[in-house]
Structure 1
Amino acid sequence: MGPREIYPNPPLALVVVELRHTVTAALSEAQQSALKSLLTDSFPLARPTLAAVSTIVTPAGVRNEQTPPNPRYMTRDNTASVTFRPDAIAVETTRYVRRSALRDTLRLAVAARQKVAPADGLTRIGVRYVNEVRADVESAADWSQWIAPSLTNVAGLEAGANGLAQSWQGMVVFGDQQQGIVLRHGNLDGYAVNPSGDLRRPTPSPGPYYLIDLDSYWTPEDETPTLDWDNIESHYDDAALSAHGLFEQLITDKYRQEVLRRDQ
């Protein structure tokens, strides 16, 4: 397996790796401090997530429940974070370089969690790539220059006096419940990932973009394996490589040559 090309002008706005595990108790202040100590060289900033309020409807009436903040640790440039939830570890970055670098961060996060407050088992691995494909378009039909016909052929449909299709969104599922990829796509406007969010990102000019959102996943088939790196690494690599292979099928050579390979 040869090295994959690293494009100088990639469309990635956000990459998320989520390792779901068996539910644990909320982390104590002492445990959160221990996690920060283990991650501080790379993730020195403690920035808990915001508390969430959910509405629960029961036969007895309606009540609001507040979910407490989850511990989260961020880089000083605010482009990457590690979050520990009672049921998952999430690693996020808006400055993705290559699979191996993200794998190292994931391994660090797993080791820290298992040292401080071990979870009993692994229940899902998800690797998500949110791409904002931006190119020179004046009409919806122009996306066929940059995005594969399998996604853009709908632009040729005409609805009588209403004219041609102007916008579309869709979801495609590959694989099954154990292993696969969920693709969400469509021609949109603005941003898929908020530039003003907690994770900072390069801010292109707002305007039309084509969303290619790939969620590549693996779940155990029978037994629940332990949350150990030996049970994670190969499945992480497979999920990431599967998403990469699908992305390459969804763009045209024109986009690859004129946009992805263009120096910023």
Structure 2
Amino acid sequence: MGPREIYPNAPLALAVVELRHTVTAALSEADQAALKGFLAEVFPLARPAPGAVSMTVTPAGVTNEQTPPSPRYMTRDNTASVTFRPDAIAVETTRYVRRSALRELLRLAVSARQEVAPADGLTRVGVRYVNEVRADIEGPADWSQWIIPDLTNIASLEAGANGHARSWQGMVVFGDQQQGVVLRHGNLEGYAVNPSGDLRRPTPNPGPYYLIDLDSFWTPEGETPTLDWSNIESRYDAAALNAHGLFEQLITDKYRREVLRRDQ
């Protein structure tokens, strides 16, 4: 696998690697302290991730339950984090450089988890890239200059007196349940990744953008492998490269020349 071109003006707003594993008990305070010590050189800040709210409907009514916060550790510049949930490890960054750098953060997170409170098995490898494609447009039809017509031709449709399509969103699934890529796309306004969230990111002007959200994944078939780096590395690389290859097919040469390769 050779090096891929690093665009000076890439549209990537967020990169996430999620390793799902067999469910474990909640990490104790001692476990969390040990994790912090293990990660301190790269992720020195302990900043718990908020728990999720789940809704349960019963004959007696609807109840909302808040799950406990998950241990999360962040870099000092607040551009990368690792979160340990009872069923997953998630590494996120808003300052993605290349696949190998994110891979090293993932390796560190797996080593910490397995050193402190091991999980028994690997159930999914997911690599997600959230891109906000921004370019000069006067109307939705202009996206065809930057994004391939297969995604943007809907702009030419007309609904009588209502005129042409103004906005659209879609989802495309490649592959099967074991391995594939889920593409979510559409022309939107504002941001896909909140600039004022816990993870800091550059803040472009909040105008129109084209979303290219790629979730590339692998799941085991049959036997559940152990949560060891030897079972993760090649699958992470394959998932990331599948997403990269699809992204390159979704953009036009004009977008590469006039936007991606333009120095910021």
For the superposition of Structure 1 and Structure 2, which TM-score range results when normalised by the shorter chain?
A: over 0.9
- 1:254 paired to 2:254: yes
SS at match of 2:92: strand
**2:182 aligned residue:** 182
Q: Which amino acid aligns with 1:165?
A: A
Distance in 1 (CA, whole Å) between partners of 2:139 and 2:60 is 53
Deviation of 1:64 (Å): 2.8
Deviations 1:152-183, CA, capped at 9 Å, x for gaps: 01111111111111111000000000000000
**2:91 aligned residue:** 91
**2:82 aligned residue:** 82
Distance in 1 (CA, whole Å) between partners of 2:213 and 2:248 is 13
Q: Which amino acid aligns with 2:226?
A: T
**Identical positions, percent:** 85
**2:242 aligned residue:** 242
Structure 1 residues 38-47 or 57-66, which shifts more? 57-66
User: Which blocks of at least 5 consecutive residues in structure 2 are unaligned?
Assistant: none
* Mapping 1:1-264, distance limit 5 Å: 1-264=1-264
Q: Which amino acid aligns with 1:223?
A: E
Deviation of 1:63 (Å): 2.6
Deviation of 1:60 (Å): 4.1
SS at match of 1:217: strand
Deviation of 1:11 (Å): 0.0
Distance in 1 (CA, whole Å) between partners of 2:51 and 2:260 is 38
Q: Which amino acid aligns with 2:255?
A: Y
SS at match of 1:223: coil
Q: Which amino acid aligns with 1:198?
A: D
Distance in 2 (CA, whole Å) between partners of 1:47 and 1:146 is 38
Moved over 4 A (4+): none
Q: How many residues align?
A: 264
Deviation of 1:65 (Å): 1.8
Q: Which amino acid aligns with 2:237?
A: D
Q: Which amino acid aligns with 2:13?
A: A
Q: Which amino acid aligns with 2:154?
A: V
Distance in 2 (CA, whole Å) between partners of 1:149 and 1:86 is 42
Calculate the TM-score normalised by the size of structure 1: 0.98
Distance in 2 (CA, whole Å) between partners of 1:51 and 1:245 is 34
Distance in 1 (CA, whole Å) between partners of 2:62 and 2:164 is 46
SS at match of 1:32: helix
Distance in 1 (CA, whole Å) between partners of 2:33 and 2:247 is 39
SS at match of 1:255: helix
Distance in 2 (CA, whole Å) between partners of 1:112 and 1:27 is 12
Structure 1 residues 235-244 or 51-60, which shifts more? 51-60
Q: What is the root-mean-square deviation of aligned Cα atoms in Å?
A: 0.8
Deviation of 1:216 (Å): 0.1
SS at match of 1:127: strand
Structure 1 residues 58-67 or 176-185, which shifts more? 58-67
SS at match of 1:102: helix
Distance in 2 (CA, whole Å) between partners of 1:149 and 1:251 is 9
Deviation of 1:23 (Å): 0.1
Distance in 2 (CA, whole Å) between partners of 1:2 and 1:230 is 20
Distance in 2 (CA, whole Å) between partners of 1:64 and 1:141 is 43
